[in-house]
Chain A
Amino acid sequence: MIAARGLTKRYGPALAVDGLTFDVLPGRVTGFLGPNGAGKSTTMRLIVGLDRPTAGTVTVDGRPYRGLRRPLWQVGAMLEASAVHPGRSAAGHLLALAHASGIQAHRVDEVLGLTGLGKVAGKRAGGFSLGMTQRLGIAAALLGDPAVLLLDEPVNGLDPDGVAWIRGLLRSLAAEGRTVLVSSHLMSEMENTADHLIVIGRGRLIADTSVEEFTRRASGGWVEVHSPETSRLAQLLGEQGAAVGAGSDGESLAVRGISAAAVGDLAARHQIALHQLVTRRPSLEEAFMALTGDAADYRPHRAAAAPGART
């Protein structure tokens, strides 16, 4: 389990992480989400002790990372994609890490095989594609067969096969009871992978919740209406107390606070033709955008973004 309490990191005048408190629990994939620059990578660096917090604490299984004697046995981390010397072979890189951690050398071949790098084990990492470099980072994280895994943007640079592979890997690792924290700036990546979400923006916690709850909280649905008489319909809907905004294509209406059936009935009563009447649910991506929009725009943080913010 990873536990952050009031975790804060300041780089000069910039507050990269601002009082984060959260727990990452075992047995599920926790998605760590936020727009670029939200403080995800900094938080991960703080977890593994590369940076010192300005205030607050973060522990892994109850101990600060820098107090762990041979942490690779407990924690595997893939931080930036290139934490490898380009002149060193994949096998050489992993072997050095294994020696430093008292892990037997045969484990190097195992993780190379597991990540599909067996054939390029002797090749210099500098010649690797981004996807292969990512796989090498994942191999290093798995080296000690740890119960806690941290992966920073692992899907970056992977082809569709690789993306599917890593999703399966993360799910199976979590199913084995491990603690898995995966960061991403793309919500859609997490949609099929994560069970739980920790969402941050501008270094602050925005949400710490299940995927379903996150979508529900972010926004209710709305009704999209296409009609040749949008302005008249909009006026009638407004009189019914519905919130009417412009739809995604600019020609339709996005209506909130009223059901699709009620919109249809109203149009029929006033003999307004409807070309399309659709109930929309926000995707995880849209929920994410709605919640982090403020944070990404460097506006003051609000506890819950208004669903109407998009219209």
Chain B
Amino acid sequence: MTQAAVPARAEAPGPRGPLFAGIALAEWTKLRTLRSSYWTLLAAAAAMAGFGALLCAAYARHLTPASRAALDPAAYSESGFFLAQLAIGVLGVLTVTGEYATGSIRSTLTATPQRVTVLAAKAAVFTTIAFLTGLAASLAAYFLGQAIFAGKGIQEHLGGPGTLRAVLGAALYLAMLGLLALGLGALIRRTAGALAVLIAVLIFLPVSVGALPAAWQNHVNPYLPSAAGQALIGPTKFTPPGHLLSPWTGFAVLCGYTAAVLIAAAVTINRRDA
């Protein structure tokens, strides 16, 4: 019919920039335009630094010669990860399930039908933000903790053996765990379901394994996603117990679980109706 009357604009200037960069920018825009993002990140940072400082203060108050000798100041100041991981995990899950719950996923996938690319962009943006937040919180936790211990004459510096690894490791662990949560969200799609699985992995599994006979525990526990990843935040002064994985091996195991979940999510996202 009157095809020629279609405004040239529809074709002329055309899309700008490479595909992935645009989608990543879109995902960043989505993250920063939701208040809940700020609250969960703030909660994670506060848990990491605040809870860590609280534990350090409690430890320093009742210092005995034995506890002084057993103290690993760097690793201990990062203890807040246990609470922070829940906040980061919630944000990871919500990054995907929030879109399904509100229907905004339909806008997202109508704008970008390349679903795996969308998932990859989401993962990249979220992991970057989670790592940077985790790193800031981890550094804050470290310096707060050392300030508290310094009052008791315990000195520690970032250049010490394993110290930087533990501080950086806390941030890496939080980011990777958040990414695992994001993968669970993409696979399960429902906030409640994905959170339930995340809580099961982080809390229920370790507790259940604790009920096994000790000989079995030593074979199972190191390979749990939580324990494996946390090896990276583990002792800096002491050699870890023999059955635990070394820091980077443990972290690699966590990365493996995360990769498996993300691959499953990428395979299903293309097959399922949005």
Contact = CB atoms under 8 A, between A and B. Distances in A.
* B interface residue count range (under 10 / 10 to 19 / 20 to 34 / 35 or more): 35 or more
A280 interface: no
Given A52-B273, A73-B14, A97-B26, A83 B9 contact: no
Nearest to B98: A85
A65 B17 CA distance: 21
A259 interface: no
Contacts of B22: 70, 99-102
Contacts of A87: 34-36
A46 to B, nearest CB: 9
Interface in A52-76: 52, 65-74
B6 interface: yes
Contact of A140 (B5, B14, B107): B107
Interface string B156-174: 0000000000000000000
B25 interface: yes
Interface in B1-40: 1-7, 9-11, 14-17, 19, 22-23, 25-27, 29-30, 33-36
A80 B110 CA distance: 12
Given A88-B30, A177-B5, A100 B23 contact: yes
Nearest to B23: A100
Contacts of B271: 52
A97 B22 CA distance: 10
Q: Tell me whether chain B's interface is mostly helix, strand or loop, or mixed.
A: helix
Nearest to B105: A83
B19 A96 contact: no
* A interface residue count range (under 10 / 10 to 19 / 20 to 34 / 35 or more): 35 or more
B103 interface: yes
B274 A71 contact: no
B10 to A, nearest CB: 5
Interface of B: 1-7, 9-11, 14-17, 19, 22-23, 25-27, 29-30, 33-36, 98-99, 102-114, 271, 273-274
Interface of A: 25-28, 45, 48-52, 65-74, 77, 79-80, 82-89, 92-93, 95-104, 140, 144-147, 175-178
18 contacts: A25-B1, A28-B1, A48-B113, A52-B271, A69-B15, A70-B15, A71-B110, A80-B106, A84-B107, A85-B104, A95-B29, A96-B29, A98-B26, A100-B25, A100-B111, A104-B16, A140-B107, A147-B6
